[in-house]
Amino acid sequence: MNFSTHIQILLSKIYIPVFWTIVVVFLLCIPGTMLPNEQNFSIPYFDKIVHMILFGMFVFLWCFYLNGRHYNSKRLVLLFFIVFILAEALGIAMEFVQKCCVPFRDFSKGDIIADLLGAGIAYGICNTFLIGENNSQ
């Protein structure tokens, strides 16, 4: 087996997307006082980039896992869309959790937009490459 095959086998295990989901929820529930001080580490829109990566990887890992289940293309399109919708629901819900339940964190429409962008880009990539790959098999 080559390296690519090993990566595909690893990503087809359910514990990878489950672990990532736990990481996303954990990171979004950290109290604001535990976050790094941005005064010494100033990258414009760094918070938004982090949100895009968190939710982009969420969609990618769940779609890659589902792709490994060998569903037909029509079913994968539906499942990938459901993953995208769940990512958005999680992103919106976590903003409200931050507003109401996490000390020193607040609600941000910008974070929700970043979540949408990250999830949307990953959703598009997965639809283009994973479902296209599934059709060629």
Two structure tokens written together for 58: 């969420």
135 has a pLDDT exceeding 60: no
Close Cβ partners of 6 (under 8 Å, ≥ 6 residues apart): none
* pLDDT at residue 6, rounded to an integer: 64
Residue 131 confidence class, pLDDT cut points 50, 70, 90? confident
DSSP string, 36-70: PPTTSS--TTHHHHHHHHHHHHHHHHHHHHHHTTT
Residue 41 confidence class, pLDDT cut points 50, 70, 90? low
Close Cβ partners of 67 (under 8 Å, ≥ 6 residues apart): 12, 76, 126, 130, 131, 133, 134
* CA separation for the pair 125, 51 (Å, rounded): 17
pTM: 0.87
Q: Which residue type does 15 have? A: Y
Total length of the chain: 137
Two structure tokens written together for 25: 């929820």
Which one is predicted more confidently, 76 or 136?
76
106 has a pLDDT exceeding 60: yes
pLDDT, mean over the chain? 87
68 has a pLDDT exceeding 90: no
Residues 31/103, Cβ–Cβ less than 8 Å:
yes
Which one is predicted more confidently, 20 or 102?
20
